[in-house]
Structures are given as structure tokens and as C-alpha cells.
């Protein structure tokens, strides 16, 4: 299995500084920024800096340092946004992948959503 990464995707452009973003957190291997169309009071996207299409791609090919950095960055974003269970009311992580996951941007991202009750996980089809 090989993953084709399109380096013209919008998050690759954000990583190269070609498109502005509102950064929440930057670490050695990860970047977190506000979603341009927020669907909750907290809606932050966390991406690895490496060229990974999706979560499964990242899980297969990322280094342990990248994986640890990314997981910790996601937890830090929840804390920075005040939705972590230490201080806040909780949150939801979503990572859409591929066609059935209805992934719009083909660079791995985890949505960190919170700040209100988010309702049930999926609407009935
Ligand atoms: P997906 O559907 O791929 O899981 O989510 C892509 C997300 O990227 C959407 O929530 C969308 O609002 C966000 N998005 C798309 N283009 C941009 C952009 O140029 N800047 C930012 N900050 N978010 C974007």
C-alpha cells in the first residue's frame, strides 16, 4: 500500500507559510490552528508537520518521536482551549479519512471540538 501525498493541499500551504493561520500551538513536529469555519466554540485542527495523508498513513510511517509529539500536542490543545477534563467540560476528537470519512483536506488533521454539548456522535443516516 502506498499513500499519495498532494503537496498542493491547503494544509501543506499553511505549513509552508503560503497561507495564513491562527496558530494555537506549534511544536517540533506538529501545528495546531483555528478551523476557518468553526462548528463549535472550540474548533482547532491539529496536524503533523510531516507529509501524511491520514491517520492510518501516520500510524504506519511516522517516527515514534512524531507520534508522541502529535498525541501530546492534541492533549495540550484541549488544555490550552480550556476543554480538557482537568478544567473544562470535555471535547471530541474527529479525524476524517478518505472518501467514506468525507475528508476534505488530504493532510492528516484531528479536529478538537468543544465548548458546548456536542450531541450524539453521528446523526442517523
Ligand atoms: P475535513 O473535512 O477534511 O475533516 O476538514 C477540513 C477542515 O479544514 C474543515 O473543517 C474546514 O473548515 C477547514 N479548512 C479548510 N480550509 C481551511 C483553511 O484555509 N484554513 C483553515 N484554518 N481551515 C481550513
Residue of the CA atom closest to atom 21 of ligand 1: 36
Q: Active-site residue numbers?
A: 109
Ligand 1 atom, smallest distance to 96 CA: 4
Q: How far is CA 108 from CA 55, 58, 89, 119, 125, in A?
A: 6, 8, 26, 24, 25
Give all domains of the chain, ordered by start, each with its CATH number. Answer: 25-114 (3.30.428.10)
Are the beta carbons of 112 and 77 closer than 8 angstroms? Answer: yes
| pLDDT values of the chain reduced to their tens digit, one per residue, 125 residues | 579 999 999 999 999 999 999 999 999 999 999 999 999 999 999 999 999 999 999 999 999 999 999 999 999 999 999 999 998 999 999 999 999 999 999 999 999 999 999 999 887 76
What is the pTM for the complete model shown? 0.97
Cell numbers 513536529: residue: 29
User: What value, to the nearest 5°, has the Cα angle with vertex 56 and ends 103 and 125?
Assistant: 40
Amino acid at each position: 500500500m502506498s499513500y499519495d501525498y498532494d503537496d498542493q493541499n491547503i494544509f501543506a500551504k499553511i505549513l509552508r507559510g503560503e497561507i495564513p493561520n491562527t496558530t494555537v500551538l506549534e511544536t517540533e513536529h506538529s501545528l495546531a490552528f483555528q478551523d476557518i469555519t468553526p462548528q463549535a466554540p472550540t474548533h482547532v485542527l491539529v496536524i503533523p508537520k510531516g507529509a501524511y495523508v491520514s491517520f492510518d498513513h501516520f500510524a504506519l510511517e511516522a517516527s515514534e518521536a512524531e507520534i508522541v509529539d502529535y498525541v501530546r500536542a492534541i492533549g495540550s490543545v484541549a488544555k490550552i482551549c480550556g476543554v480538557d477534563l482537568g478544567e473544562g467540560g470535555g471535547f471530541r476528537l474527529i479525524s476524517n479519512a478518505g472518501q467514506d470519512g468525507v475528508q476534505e483536506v488530504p493532510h492528516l488533521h484531528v479536529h478538537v471540538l468543544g465548548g458546548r454539548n456536542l450531541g450524539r456522535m453521528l446523526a442517523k443516516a
